[in-house]
Amino acid sequence: MKVKVISILEDNYMYLVIEEQSKQAIAVDPAVPHRLLEIVKREGLFLIAVLTTHHHWDHARGNEALVNEVPGLKVYGADDRIKGLTDKVTDSQELKFNSINVKCLFTPCHTSGDMCYYVWEDECTDAPAVFTGDTLFIGGCGRFLEGTAEQMHHNLTKVIASLPQETKVFCGHENTIKNLKFALLVEPENEKVKEMLSWARARDDDDKPTVPSTLQEEFDYNPFLRLSEKAVQKFTGKMEPVEVMRVLRKEMDKFKKPKERLPPQAMLALQWGLLMSSQDRLSPAIKDGD
């Protein structure tokens, strides 16, 4: 099983899960259908199904076009608001596509119909994968748009956390740097956060994705999975896990990513450039006044 990561829109990801022997592929949240089909054609794949995590346009808007372009294509999801839906799935339902298995994990909160997908391949030693959409991010979690802190607490600590620790996490957006900056605010002494933030910045400099992480890694630096840690409780002023979750999300909603400070030489060059530009604009007026 191979997972192809495809960057789209401003910061979204869509994915292709490929059974390498048969060349059959399953798309996850293919919001840019023409690009997906170009990749499918270029790599000689056969698109057989779409897994949709939730109904938002930046995850589901490509479904209808794909159904029209690919005869017999199945589109799976848990929400009737999902465009192009052909098969509605329920919690713990299992799907099988040759040697690839999918378990549907109902995780309502970001939207009331959110579904994560746990994927593994028969007789394969590679780590399984979970496609979390906007429920779990690297270093963070999704906003509680249609749900509650209680629901997200259950989603993260009971549903997703029950998966094998080596499970690879493929999320819906590239929010890693912002998430880790918030994590550092929550736990300023957490060395894992510092290491991961440095790594994520380097990936960003090289224009490379930060997905996937693993569940084991998320427990080391993601504050939304560290609700019982003293530093996280101190930051929120709460001890009960759901209340810690609630305050964390409220603070994250208010959090603005700190601007990267430019090196002194760059700041000097910028200031000099602005000064020269200002003088250029002023000089005609000075001459006219002379």
Cα separation, 55 vs 78, in Å, equals 9
Give mean pLDDT, residues 87-105. Answer: 98
Q: Tens of pLDDT along 249-258?
A: 999 999 975 5
| Position 266 pLDDT exceeds 50 | no
Write down the catalytic residue from 29, 55, 58, 114.
58
Report the greatest alpha carbon distance in the chain.
Answer: 86
Domain ranges of the chain: 2-258
Q: Is position 58 annotated as part of the catalytic site?
A: yes
Report the C-alpha gap between 197 and 72 in whole angstroms. Answer: 43
What percentage of the chain has pLDDT greater than the value 70?
88
d(CA 144, CA 108): 9
Burial class (CB in 10 A: 0-12, 13-18, 19+), 241: middle
Instruction: Give yes or no for residue 259 having a pLDDT over 90.
Output: no
Among the listed residues 55, 153, 154, 173, the single catalytic one is 173
Cross-strand bridge partners of residue 2: 18
Pairwise CA distance, residues 235 & 193, whole Å: 15
Q: What is the torsional sign of CA 187, 188, 192, 195?
A: positive
Active-site pick, 114, 134, 153, 154: 134
Q: How confident is the model at residue 178 (pLDDT cuts 50, 70, 90)?
A: very high
pLDDT of residue 24: 98
134 carries an active-site annotation:
yes
Quick check: is 59 catalytic?
A: yes
Mean pLDDT of the chain, nearest integer = 91
- Give the per-residue pLDDT at 289: 34
The CATH homologous superfamily for domain 2-258 is Ribonuclease Z/Hydroxyacylglutathione hydrolase-like (3.60.15.10)
pLDDT greater at residue 257 or residue 35: 35
Active-site entry in 29, 55, 79, 110: 110
Is 110 among the catalytic positions?
yes
Exposed/middle/buried for residue 111 (C-beta within 10 Å: 0-12, 13-18, 19+): buried
Residue 278 has pLDDT above 60, yes or no: no
